[in-house]
Amino acid sequence: MSTNSGVVFKNVSKLFDDFSAVDNISFEVKSGQLITLLGPSGCGKTTTLRMIAGLELPTSGQIFIGGEDVSNVYAAGRSVGMVFQSYALFPHMTVMQNICFGLSDKSKDKAETLDKAHVVMRTVGLKNLEHRYPSELSGGQQQRVAIARSIVTNPKVLLFDEPLSNLDAKLRRQVRGDIRDLQQELGVTAIYVTHDQEEALAISDEIIVMKDGNIDQKGSPKALYQYPESPFVANFIGEANKVTGQLAPSEKDSEALFSVNGKTIFSYAKLKQADLLNKSCDAFIRPNAIVILDEASAEDNSFTAKVLSAVYMGSYVEYMIEAEWGAQLFMIDYSFNEPCEVGSSIQVKIDHRGVSIL
């Protein structure tokens, strides 16, 4: 693959009549990175992807692929491969014919075309299936044909538009791993669209979270999960309980104390915003940051809570609890302990590593 295949958006907007689907966004995808556009339905992910593909042109702003300004170049003039959620395979063509379709205009040499197709078939694990028709393949195999067809032309950039939505949950996990492995093996720049946050966290170097045609936050999966910069990102990437309270200085310089109605709930060690001290602020607490303590063991800043509901999910138990200081909290317990009974009183503490204060 090309060494310079990065994608750059500079102040790009897309209007449909007077509706702004994408509103003045700027970002960079470095060569060889896999970046995911993540966000709720209608936030502008697909429009952004289609502008990279050249299926839509921007209303204003500039798009660069491999350093070249392609803002006014349609799809045929860009070196981009695209994998759609419907796979878009030709049903009357065999696997081999589907894969060679994109090459037919570009290579006049039939033997060379077949050689290339065999190489990509091996790469995506489709050996010996060249004579089958799409209807004779599993969903996962059809997806591999779609991927093979998109990489056989050696594109600078590979685009994936919700490629797993037609697969069942188990297969999704496997195919998303295969896509990530293949992308890394080829070293190709990839941009992936999904509304599934788990999928985005699992495969991406970086995630761009979009909302209403804008970029809300861009960062690595870990940075977005641990340091969300807005309530929207805190809720969209993993769940979070919002609790309004106050941050007060602690005796330790590096710490602050979060309290609700005068009761200290937890000490907070990653305080970046000194301007939040002594003011009302919101803590976003992850469900797995609320930890059940052994019976009757009270630690610093632990508190009692009443179990309002308990749902056994096999590898974890989901609880709604009511803290003694008033808030109702959703929590998840991954331990092997017996589920707590509804109506019982439990002792819990909050692990500040699963909290963001905004």
Binding region for ligand ATP (CB under 6 A)? 16, 19, 21, 39, 41-47, 195
Q: Residue 99 and residue 97: Cα distance in Å, rounded?
A: 5
Of the pair 151, 209, the CB lying nearest ligand ATP is at 209
Of the pair 159, 350, the CB lying nearest ligand ATP is at 159
Of the pair 41, 315, the CB lying nearest ligand ATP is at 41
Q: Residue 226 and residue 243: Cα distance in Å, rounded?
A: 17
Least Å from the CB of residue 73 to ligand ATP? 19
Of the pair 42, 339, the CB lying nearest ligand ATP is at 42
Least Å from the CB of residue 117 to ligand ATP? 31
Least Å from the CB of residue 58 to ligand ATP? 13
Q: Residue 327 and residue 309: Cα distance in Å, rounded?
A: 14
Of the pair 208, 271, the CB lying nearest ligand ATP is at 208
Of the pair 44, 54, the CB lying nearest ligand ATP is at 44
Q: Residue 281 and residue 279: Cα distance in Å, rounded?
A: 6
Task: State the virtual CA torsion across 326, 331, 335, 341 in degrees, nearest 10.
Answer: 60
- DSSP lists the bridge partners of residue 258 as 247, 266
- DSSP lists the bridge partners of residue 81 as 158
Strands 206-211, 34-38: pairing is parallel
Residue type for position 152? V
Of the pair 17, 105, the CB lying nearest ligand ATP is at 17
Least Å from the CB of residue 177 to ligand ATP? 23
Q: Residue 349 and residue 335: Cα distance in Å, rounded?
A: 15
Which residues have CB under 8 Å from 110's CB, separation 6+?
none
Least Å from the CB of residue 57 to ligand ATP? 12
CB of 300 closer than 8 Å to CB of 340: no
Least Å from the CB of residue 98 to ligand ATP? 25
Least Å from the CB of residue 50 to ligand ATP? 8
3-state secondary structure of 28: strand
CB of 197 closer than 8 Å to CB of 38: yes
